[in-house]
Each structure stands twice: as C-alpha cells, then as structure tokens.
Structure 1
Amino acid sequence: MDRRRLRLLSANIQAGSSTRGYHDYVARSWSHVLPAGNKRGALDTIAELAGRHDIVGLQEADPGSLRSGFTNQTHYLAERAGFAYWSHQPNRRVGGVASSANGLLSKLEPRLVEDHPLPGRVRGRGVLTASFGDGRNALTVAVAHLSLGSQSRRSQIDFIADLLADLPHAVLMGDFNCDPEQPEMQTLYRKTKLQPPDRCVPTFPSWRPQRAIDHMLVTPALPVTAMQAMPAAQSDHLALSVELDVPELAFK
C-alpha cells in the first residue's frame, strides 16, 4: 500500500503570551488581556516551528481581540509560515477584551472543514475538523481544547467520539486538560478507532514538564513513526510534534 509521511503539530500557544513559571500567572496576568509584551516575536518563533510541519492544530490562538492588537493569530501564522490553507474557530471571550480560538494550518488542501460547538457547563468550546479526502476513508483531523472539569470533559469527549466513530483514518489533537488514562477518555477508545498513545509525553508546564495533557491520538491505520515535545515560544505548554504514515487512499 502506498503511503505518504506527514508531520503534524499540536500547540497551545497561549495567544503568544510568555509564562516562564507559576509566578507569571500572577505577575504577568496583564499580558493575557492587554496588547503588550513581545507577542509578535513569539508568533514568529511559533511560525518557524509550525512551518516544518504539514498540518498544525492550534489552541488558544487569539482571533483578533484587544490583547493581540486585533491580529488574527491563526491567519498571521499561516502567512508567516507559508501555509496555503487555514481556518479558525473562535470559541471563548475573556472579560470582553480577549478571545480564544482553535486554529488549523495546512499545506494540503482540505476537502471539508467543519466547526462543531462542544457541550459543557460553560458554553463556548468547540472542535474543528478537516477532511482531506472523500467519504469515510478520508484522513480526518480534529482539533480541540477540552474543559478543565471532568464532568464537562466527559460530555465533550462523548460528542467527539460520536463525530469520529468508525473513521479508519482519524487524528484527534489538542489540549485535553487530562492524561490519556482518565476515566472519561475510555469513551473515546470504546466508541472510535482512536488508540491511547504508546507513551505519554509530558507537555505541561513547559518550564518543568510533568503532566501529559496535550495529545495526538490516531487510529491504527496511521502508524506513528516519531513523537516529541518542543517549545512553542514561551507558552505554558510544550507543542507536540508527530510523524505519521498515511495511506494514499485517505486523500482520494
């Protein structure tokens, strides 16, 4: 079977803000709502990393609010890193001055991109899906940022499981806010072909990674040939880079 090797990246970019330790959550809290700090420089660093990949999923990308200087960060990264295709999913507003979005950057043309709102106690989160072929055999990539609370995560994971059920060439990436062995994750493995990762790669906090909460889950038909965590500028999450072998029929 003919296969194509793809490099995928999932990155919570924290809207280009810098967090170098827990103290920064308080000392630099202003950077999460004001257009200050070197956010543009951080985005340029992230663009250099993203540009070495074929498909990139972003979480906490600002879609154009006060804190980003009204810059759509997904669009900026697409242009800076040389991605021909991009899409974003604004999903949360913070205090009326900051917004957050999931984003997708791709060097391959998706056939279909869909925006799905997720359930949860606090509305606003979503999952962004892109299909790179036609029919159920298509390579389908989903980008999500799940809730902190386990009850909301459970309903969100159940929704995503229904969305990706029985797809043979599926990838689910993002910030799950939990490790892959949590009870709510079992629904995903039971209702879809997605598998737990062979090994957990700690991604949080970026300055001393101890928790594996950023994941890229794939179906057995998409063998993982490499996986590593790497800095996404000075975000509080490390990015997760994965190489996959994808059957050519997934693009037809």
Structure 2
Amino acid sequence: MRSARLSERQTAPAPADTELVLSADAPVPGRDPWPLTVATYNIHGAVGTDGRFAPERVAAVLDELQADVVALQEVPLGGADQVDVLALLRAHTGMFAAEGPTMESPARRYGNAVLSRYPILATESIDLSFGSREPRGALDADIDCRGQLLRVVATHLGLKPAERRAQIKRLLQAFDTNDAPVILLGDVNEWFMWGRTLRWLVGHFEAAPAPPTFPSRWPVFALDRIWISPRRRLQHLAVHRSALARVASDHLPLLAHIAG
C-alpha cells in the first residue's frame, strides 16, 4: 500500500517560515493542480560559464522557469567551508525544499535537491554509489498537489557506462507502486543516444523528447531528461534557452508540462 510506503519514509520538514498543514495520511483536497510544470536543472554548484559563483543567477533562472516542481543537481548544501545554496534558493522562491546529499563532511555537503510549490510529504535518499567512483544518489519525494499525490525521483547518474547501468537497475527496482504518477528527472550523463541506460529507461517509461541541454552556450548533448509514467501525461517538453540560463550554469534547464 502507498500509505505504508509513505510511513516508512522520512517526513519532509516545512521551511521555517511556512506552516505545513498537510499530512501523508490526510492530504487536503483543493483546486485541480494540472497541468503541472516540472523542471530539471544541473546548477553546477552555482558556478556559471564565466567561472563566477553566483547563486543569485540560478535564483533568477528559477524565476524565469516558473515551475511548480524543480529537481536540482550539483547543489551546495552547506558546511563549514561553503554556502548553503539550497537555503538561498528556498528563501528566494518561497518554495518547499528537500535535500538529498551525496557527499557529506563537516566542511562540505553537496548533492541533489527538490523545490516544490506544493508540500513535500516524505522523502527517501537512494544510494547509487558505484565502487570507488564519485558518490551518486537519487532523491525520492512524495508531493501533495492539492490532494493528488505525485512521486518525483530526482537523480544525477555517473560518468562511466557500467556505473550508469548499475544505477538505472537500482532506480527501476525502486519504482514499486502504481498508486501515483512517477516522474524521473535529472542529469543522466548519457552521451550516446542508444546507450543501454537509455534503452532500459525507454523500456520502462516509453520514449520522450530529448532536446540537447549541454553545454549551455552551444547545447549538443541531451544529458538532462524527464520521464513520466504513465507516458500519456507528458504534454510538452522544451529546453529553457534564455540569455541568463546560458551563463548561470553549464547545463540548460529542461521543462515539461504534465497533465492530470
């Protein structure tokens, strides 16, 4: 049962200045949230193509997107030696936030994150680390869209083909319910159109458009992807190509509209 799975996951705290009145057991119904706008954005540590650390530019790109749910990759999450960029973005947007660190030390926390205009009911971090490679992971979040449950899995896969294959196998095993629509989105780091990683994902989710998002100044590779199950709910998908987005990160944001 979905409710049982929710009860085993970590309840997501609300931002300090936001009162969370919904719960996993009794979501409050309301106005139809569809179509929903979702996005994935690798922010490159908030370092732009000019080499400048500028979280305010990432925040401005989020303003341009006006998305309801955003998956972020390469997010500084605080620590003694770095700025908590997620906290800055949450404060700027007023959205709910959840983090999925893949690297943690007293000096530096770093990884995936989700921002949502709707309450995040519960989260789970999925460890996708592979051997001695850089630690990777996925952030699995349950979001209450005015009483309608949405499951979002935000990820950032590894650079080696064998690494990505193992990570996708682990992710596909995690999709254990049909009780809510599932959106998988993030930076899959797959450079080859017919790589085994993409074939497995298409086999599970069906094919979806894949416009190039990297590098941001002259995009050639479709590294950033959005899939939804059931596929019929994906209405439109496009890259956000503003002048600001081309400098704020080395990836462009990918945006999709999801039907109810």
TM-score (norm 2): 0.75
Deviation at 1:228, TM superposition (A): 1.4
Q: Residue 61 in 1 paired to residue 75 in 2? A: yes
Q: Which amino acid letter does the alignment assign opposite residue 80 of structure 1?
A: H
Contact 1:146 1:177 in 2 (8 A): yes
| Kept after mapping to 2: 8 A contact 1:158/1:188 | no
Instruction: Using the TM superposition, give the Cα deviation of residue 16 of structure 1 relative to its aligned residue in structure 2, in angstroms.
Output: 1.0
- Paired residues for 1:37-76 under 5 Å: 37-50=52-65, 52-65=66-79, 70-76=82-88
- Residue 197 (structure 2) aligns with: 184
Aligned match of 2:138: 127
RMSD over aligned CA atoms reads 2.7
Which structure 2 segments of 5+ residues have no match?
1-31
Q: Offset of 1:222 from its aligned partner? A: 5.0
- Deviation per residue, 1:18-61 (Å, 9 max, x gap): 115xxxxxxx4xxxxxxxx34133233234235x1111100001
Amino acid at match of 1:226: H
Matches within 5 A, 1:69-148: 70-83=82-95, 85-92=96-103, 99-121=109-131, 122=133, 124-132=135-143, 138-148=149-159
* Percent of aligned pairs with the same amino acid: 23
Distance in 2 of aligned mates of 1:98 and 1:111: 26
Moved more, 232-241 or 179-188: 179-188
Structure-1 separation of matches of 2:224 and 2:162: 19
Contact 1:17 1:42 (C-alpha < 8 Å) held by counterparts: no
Instruction: Tell me the distance in 1 between the aligned counterparts of 2:68 and 2:153.
Output: 15
Letter in 2 for 1:73: V
2:237/2:257 contact within 8 Å kept = yes
Unaligned runs of 5+ in 1: 21-27, 29-36, 247-252
- In 1: Cα distance, 2:119 partner to 2:232 partner: 19
Q: Give the direction of change, closer, same or farther, for the CA distance of 1:209–1:123 in structure 2 (3 Å limit).
A: closer
CA offsets per residue over residues 160-189 of structure 1, 9 Å max, x none?
000014536111000000156311233334
Q: Which moved more, 1:169-178 or 1:115-124?
A: 115-124
For 2:247 and 2:123, locate their aligned partners in 1 and report how far apart those are by CA, in whole Å: 27
Q: Which of 4, 16, 20 is matched with 2:46 structurally? A: 16
Cα shift readout 1:232-251 (whole Å, capped 9, x = no counterpart): 652110010111112xxxxx
Deviation string, structure 1 residues 50-107 (Cα, Å, up to 9, x no partner): 5x111110000111146xx632211211110120x1111111369x965531001111
Instruction: Report the AA paired with residue 90 of structure 2.
Output: A
| 1:207 maps onto 2:242 in alignment | no
Distance, in Å, in 2 between the alignment partners of 1:59 and 1:225 is 24
* Map of 2:20 onto structure 1: none
